[in-house]
Amino acid sequence: MTGRTHDLAAITLLGTVAVLTPLPSMTLSTVLIAILANQIGGIVPDIDQPVAPFWRNLPVGGFVGKVITRMMGGHRFLTHSIIGAGLLCFLALQFLLFIHPLMPNINTTIVWYAFVIGVLSHLIMDSFTKEGVPWLLPIPIKFGIPPIRRLRITTGKWGETLGVWPILILADIALCASQYQTILALIHTHIH
Ligand SMILES: [Zn+2]
């Protein structure tokens, strides 16, 4: 999937979890940083791809991206498995705990959950593509939805642009429309 689809999928899953689970009160800064963490989590598994948006946006990203790709065993490998994603989330948590003294108003747990949701959405979305995802590494099998490879979509082609993207937009609209009262209540009572 392209970076733009991953961004949208990450925020869609975050919004869905936010309206379906009971949330604690949080500061507005927590909400904003959590959305940022969610968006980073949504594209971070593609650090194993030198041309990924994650690297394109950094000054020496092209070079660093190539080195990291080698280290990660190539595209759609370690970072696209439960073990690799778990490792990314563990590193993100260590980073958040490290910088927590700099931003005491931020609820680190919420920000971390938003990051994890982003990473999870990435693996789910890539499962819909022809390449599939090696969820269970070191078992070297790539899984896809649906299991028949021919029925899955090709990254960046019409299936993604005309199928996946509009479905995600519609899901967001449906979520906002059906959960409007819940969202309003969340903003009024949970954010301070
Ligand atoms: Zn990916």
C-alpha 153 – ligand 1 centre gap (Å): 13
C-alpha 157 – ligand 1 centre gap (Å): 15
pLDDT at site 60: 67
Cβ partners under 8 Å of residue 34, min gap 6 = 14, 26, 110, 111, 113, 114
Taking only the tens of pLDDT, the chain with its 192 residues reads: 888 899 999 999 999 999 999 888 899 999 999 999 999 999 999 988 766 666 677 776 677 777 777 776 667 888 999 999 999 999 999 999 999 999 889 999 999 999 999 999 999 999 999 999 999 998 989 999 999 998 899 888 888 888 889 999 999 999 999 999 888 988 888 888
C-alpha 180 – ligand 1 centre gap (Å): 32
Q: 122 near 43, Cβ under 8 Å?
A: yes
Cβ partners under 8 Å of residue 116, min gap 6 = 41, 89, 92
Q: What angle do CA 152, 50, 89 make, to 5 degrees?
A: 75
C-alpha 181 – ligand 1 centre gap (Å): 34
Q: Which residue type occupies 81?
A: S
Return the axis-axis angle of helices 108-127 and 28-43, rounded to nearest 10°.
30
C-alpha 80 – ligand 1 centre gap (Å): 7
The dihedral formed by the CA atoms of 121, 25, 36 and 145, expressed in degrees to the nearest 10: 0
pLDDT at site 140: 87
Q: Which residue type occupies 66?
A: K
What span, in angstroms and rounded, lies between the C-alpha atoms of 78 and 48?
8
C-alpha 122 – ligand 1 centre gap (Å): 6
pLDDT at site 160: 86
pLDDT at site 72: 67
Of 85, 83, 65, residue with least CA distance to 74: 65
Q: Which residue type occupies 109?
A: T
What span, in angstroms and rounded, lies between the C-alpha atoms of 150 and 164?
16
Cβ atoms within 10 Å of 145's Cβ, excluding its own: 15
C-alpha 6 – ligand 1 centre gap (Å): 8
Q: 123 near 85, Cβ under 8 Å?
A: yes
C-alpha 146 – ligand 1 centre gap (Å): 17
pTM, entire model: 0.88
What span, in angstroms and rounded, lies between the C-alpha atoms of 131 and 149?
8
pLDDT at site 157: 87
